[in-house]
Amino acid sequence: MINSLQAYRFFFVLLILFSHFHWQGTPLSLIGGEYGVSFFFILSGFVLSVSQGQKVKEGTFNLRQFVTKQLVKFYPLHILILLIYVILDIRDQLGENIIKALLNVFMLQSWVLDNTYNFAYNGVTWFLSDIMFFYLLFPWLYRSIMLSGRKQLATGCTLVGILLMTIVAATPEVYVNTILYTFPPVRSINFAIGILICRFYKSDFTQSVISRVNNNDRHLTIALELSAIAIIVTTFVLYRFCPPRIGCMVFFLLPVSALIYISAITDNSKGLLTRLLHNRQVQTLGTITMEIFMIHMLIIRIFIILRNNHIFTCGLTASVIILLVTTIAAAYTIKKFYADKIYSIYKNRIVYHEQNN
């Protein structure tokens, strides 16, 4: 496990949360959703390649077993929250849409070029629709990127880059969000970039840099950690100048890739930033990222209902603190007493099945 990236997961899920919490009509973070989603898509490709790539190379990777394992981790929570949203919609007389509900159940909502379908009910779960598509592509993408020659890879990357920029330029304004932000085939480029980072990470050049960092090359470590901080800050500053069709995805490809790569390189260093990211409490928060991601929209909706009914009349700072504490506490509780319990039952059944066959 690369602990620095585990910590960054918490940072980026907070950006997503802040982008969905509006105060007086303005989200607390204008950059959060796009930045966070790009990070998690690219990170998924990188982490999956590091952890499962060798199995793909050896032909022992079981796609069905892997997908089932991932579904067990988040699908029960997805269905539970969807049911709560349906109940709330009926309560608030917002009506119900069977097609939208079914698309959510089967995690196909991001394939419809309509944001009213993409973001229906628990709006963030379009992410799950995309990520499941990426998982299905993973063995093929891994072999195509990791096992191809340099010239072949360079040609492939060039063609994909041209294709992406063509799509960005040709997409009608009305479809910018649905095609460039949520549509699985387009967003799979993020996932593929994560695999590409893995290839560079495993190169002789990178391993030599890691060796220097691990041998306490202070100047190199400081330079890399300062670069990581500079990437985050610069991305925030420059985002405001980006047109939507660039800012929804393309703008983040390079900075997020660089941040993930640098974090992986310095993970075993003794740098100040690395020690901060390795803090036990920060690591614990990183383990509940999926739960925070899945439930934060529901908590925000409940918070707004309470505020509109004048049960909460506090200011912005107090509201943010209450929202964060409530979301983190709820995520931790759900993970410990719901998600982990279900996953434990699944693992025990797998072990039992293996012992009796």
Measured distance CA(63)–CA(71) in Å, rounded: 12
CB 249 within 8 A of CB 181: yes
Instruction: Return the percent helix, strand and coil in the chain, to nearest 5.
Output: 80, 0, 20
pLDDT computed for residue 356 by the predictor: 64
Q: What is the pLDDT at residue 312?
A: 72
In this predicted structure, what is the pLDDT of residue 354?
58
Cα–Cα–Cα angle for 133, 144, 208, rounded to 5 degrees? 110
The verdict on pTM exceeding 0.85 is yes
Mean pLDDT by 10 residues, the chain (357 residues): 91 93 79 90 96 93 92 94 88 73 94 93 94 96 94 94 95 94 96 97 94 90 93 92 91 96 93 91 94 95 83 82 94 92 84 60
Mutual orientation of helices 32-58 and 184-201 as an angle, nearest 10°?
60
Distance CA 136, CA 138 (A): 6
Q: List, in order, residues 6 or more apart from 227 with CB less than 8 Å away.
A: 258, 262
pLDDT at 160: 94
pLDDT at 347: 81
- In angstroms, the Cα distances linking 90 to 39, 78, 93, 96 are 35, 19, 5, 7
- CA-wise closest residue to 188 among 130, 121, 255, 118: 130
| Secondary structure class of 270 (helix, strand, coil) | coil
Q: For 272-341, give the DSSP string.
A: HHHHHHT-HHHHHHHHTHHHHHHHHHHHHHHHHHHHHTTS----HHHHHHHHHHHHHHHHHHHIIIIIHH
pLDDT at position 332: 95
